[in-house]
Amino acid sequence: MNFVALRMLTGDRAKYFGLVFAIAFCTFLLENQTSIFANILRRTASQILDVTDADVWVMDPKTEYWDQTKALKDTDLTRVRGVEGVGWAVRLFKGTPVARTSTGKFAVSFLIGLDDSTLAGAPRTMLLGSWERLREPDSVVIDKAGYVLLFPKEPLRLDRTLEMNDHLVRIVGISDASPPFQSLPVMHTRYSEAVGFVGRERTQLSFIIVRPAKGVSPAELTARIQSGTGLRARTTKEFMWDCVRYYLKNTGIPVNFGITIVVALVVGTVVAGQTFYLFTIDNLKQFGALKAIGVTNLRLTAMILLQAFSVGALGFALGTGMGATFFEVFQHKLATRHIVLMWQCVGITGACIFFVVIVASVLSIRRVLVLEPAAVFQG
């Protein structure tokens, strides 16, 4: 009887496609909104995640997230290096100077100062130039989005100059650094250069980034550093979640996105669920005839479940395809770069669609089970 169920489902093309597209649209909306939400929050920790050399971050005990820093003392670096289990520990500077072009165009930028000798903490992907050129005096590497912002509609070119805090700096590389939450240009330079490009503060040590010695886990090392120095130490992942939590707690982002997601869920659920329920109601007479003919309730239940899960699976696959296409197109745009369809969002959406299908199936099955087959004789 499975083929009868599927033929009943696909027999009325308009209803069938309506049903599939309702679920596909719901899937697309949910995957789209949850992925954008998650990716935007992830951007609050972009520069943390870009540092792949180190596993542990050390900071002032009161630091809550990336943008909130209080400078450490130079002696703190020595103290951290003295903690057992530290493989190496180097300085990392973070400042927000204004970068200005020769035409007068300017932008507040994230300037990250890397350890002079190791350049540890630099993002891995270079689009033009090389990290090694950071060893040249007054040199910076800028991300592509920052370059386009400061030099709009101009081709990517090295050795262009910027002015920062009365210093003339030269662009020696263009990177693919992850976009920060505030969409500011991201520049990397050596630590000793960075403090000069920002200046005016007595102490400049924003973070210490640490690689554990062999055999020591990052979690274990953070505990040791905290107890040994009194400084706050977090693993890269913990620090990322600190940032995400801070923005969730202190901004209106979750409320705005939450409303959209809830609306998508409610609209999608109601539209998809109701459409399937109405589909069953429209076919009640057919189910009544099948009951009269001698099709068991168990078989009818299986038929409805097959119909619901077929349409649910197809709609979900179609919606996910639409979502994947959307993100594939937009991740190559500058403003929406690195925003991808997250598998976790696909999973959550799949669970929601599964729930919708179950609810619609249960309601439909109930109607069919209580249907008196004698009703089929009534005109």
Partner 1 sequence: MNSNSHAILCRGVEKHYGEGETRIDALRGVDFGARFGELSFLVGPSGCGKTTLLCVIAGLLDRNAGDLEVLGRTPDELSDRERVLFRRKNLGFVFQQYNLLPALTAAENVAVPLLAAEVPRKEALARATSLLSRLGLEKRVEALPSKLSGGQQQRVALARALVHEPRIIVCDEPTAALDHATGEAVMELLASNAVQPDRAVVVVTHDSRVFHHAQSISRMDDGKIVEVTRSGGSPRMENVEESDSFRKEVIQ
Q: Which residues bind partner 1 (CB under 8 A)?
A: 1, 3-4, 7-8, 10-12, 285-286, 288-297, 299, 372-374, 376-379
Contact 47, 214 (CB under 8 A): no
Least distance to partner 1, CB of residue 260, Å:
38
Identity at 331, one-letter amino acid code: Q
Do 202 and 154 contact (CB within 8 A), yes or no? no
Is the Cβ–Cβ distance between 53 and 209 less than 8 Å? yes
**Residue closer to partner 1 (CB basis): 4 or 359:** 4
Residues 6+ apart with CB under 8 A from 375: 285, 288
Q: What is the C-alpha to C-alpha distance for residues 10 and 264, in angstroms, rounded to an integer?
A: 26
Provide the token pair at 199: 């200046």
| Contacts for 254 with CB less than 8 Å, ≥ 6 apart | 37, 248
CB of 5 or CB of 341, closer to partner 1: 5
**Cβ distance to partner 1 smaller for residue 183 or 301:** 301
How far apart are CB 48 and partner 1 at their closest, in Å? 57
Taking the complex as a whole, the smallest distance from the CB of residue 318 to partner 1 amounts, in Å, to 21
Nearer to partner 1 by C-beta: 12 or 176?
A: 12
**Residue closer to partner 1 (CB basis): 215 or 294:** 294
Q: How far is the CB of 272 from partner 1 (least distance, A)?
A: 21
SS (H, E, C) 118-160: CCCCCCCCEEEECHHHHHCCCEEEEEHHHHHHHCCCCCCCCCC
- Cα–Cα distance measured from residue 97 to residue 108, given in angstroms and rounded to the nearest whole number: 6
Rounded least distance, CB 284 to partner 1, Å:
11
Instruction: Give the nearest distance from C-beta 293 to partner 1 in angstroms.
Output: 5
Minimum CB distance to partner 1 smaller for 237 or for 285: 285
